[in-house]
């Protein structure tokens, strides 16, 4: 893989999408791990066909797409099923990710992944960027955006790698506690630095 890869991550409500959208507007190719995870189980894919072979057609919606809620229920109540699914999908997702990263034509390419460190995707990256906000900001923004209770957001945060651990692992931290304008200003500066890093590598 010849392209210079920036791993982009951030906890829920941190603003990772705002950063990836801004970089995309600058002409940077974005490879989104969440989108790939959905694509590899789209109708008629090897991934979905294998899941149907394992769990039966009841795992499908009426339109032939994967019933994610039903699959989540199955794997959360059975560790063997969860391991089987991970063993099936992780290699497919990894290969699709590598293919998209290699095909990118921009100065550098972004691998955007909420679970970048948890899934060890930083191993595919030359540099990692954490979009960081306080837990209070995460709770406020997410509860307002998704119209959910604060306690629900707290449970999601508790299920993710801690902010402290992510900060220790990241090569660069982009503070997004303030205004979007301030974050964009800092991102513009960082973008120029990343172009230089990519060109020098």
Which amino acids are annotated as binding site, given as ranges? 13-18
Q: Which of these, 24, 44, 10, lies nearest to 141 by C-alpha position? A: 10
Helices 135-146 and 150-159: crossing angle, nearest 10°? 120
* Domains 1-28+108-201 and 37-105 belong to one CATH topology: yes
The Cα-based distances of 14 to 1, 42, 47, 88, 139 in angstroms read: 29, 28, 31, 30, 10
Q: Are 10 and 130 in contact (CB under 8 A)?
A: yes
Which residues make Cβ contacts (< 8 Å) with residue 182, sequence separation at least 6? Answer: none
| CA–CA dist 43, 189 (Å, integer) | 42
> What are 48-59's pLDDT values in tens digits?
999 999 999 999
Q: Which residues pair with 172 in a beta bridge?
A: 129
pLDDT over 70 percentage in the chain: 99
Q: Taking a C-beta distance cutoff of 8 angstroms, is the pair 115, 10 a contact?
A: no
Pick the CATH number of 37-105 from 3.40.50.300, 3.40.50.2000, 3.40.1360.10, 3.30.530.20: 3.40.50.300
Could you tell me the pTM of the whole model?
Answer: 0.88
Q: Which tens digits make up the pLDDT trace of 24-40?
A: 999 999 999 999 999 99
CATH topology of domain 1-28+108-201: Rossmann fold (3.40.50)
Annotated binding residues for ATP:
13-18
Does 1 score more than 60 pLDDT?
no
Q: Sign of the CA dihedral 19, 25, 29, 34?
A: positive
* Average pLDDT value for the chain: 93
pLDDT of residue 2: 65
Domain extent listing, the chain: 1-28+108-201, 37-105
């Amino acid at each position: 893989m010849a392209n210079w890869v920036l791993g982009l991550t951030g906890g829920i409500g941190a603003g990772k999408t705002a950063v990836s959208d801004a970089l995309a507007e600058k002409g940077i190719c974005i490879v989104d791990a969440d989108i790939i995870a959905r694509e590899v189980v789209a109708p008629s894919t090897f991934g979905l066909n294998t899941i149907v072979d394992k769990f039966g057609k009841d795992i499908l919606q009426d339109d032939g797409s994967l019933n994610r809620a039903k699959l989540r229920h199955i794997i959360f109540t059975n560790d063997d099923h969860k391991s089987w699914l991970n063993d099936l999908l992780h290699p497919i997702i990894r290969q699709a990710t590598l293919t998209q990263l290699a095909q990118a034509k921009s100065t550098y390419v972004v691998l955007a992944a909420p679970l970048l460190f948890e899934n060890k995707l930083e191993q595919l990256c030359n540099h990692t960027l954490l979009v960081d906000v306080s837990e209070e900001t995460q709770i406020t923004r997410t509860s307002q955006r998704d119209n959910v209770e604060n306690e629900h957001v707290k449970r999601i945060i508790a299920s993710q790698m801690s902010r402290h651990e992510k900060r220790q692992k990241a090569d660069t931290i982009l503070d997004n506690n303030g205004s979007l304008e301030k974050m964009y200003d800092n991102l513009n500066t960082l973008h120029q630095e990343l172009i230089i890093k990519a060109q020098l590598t």
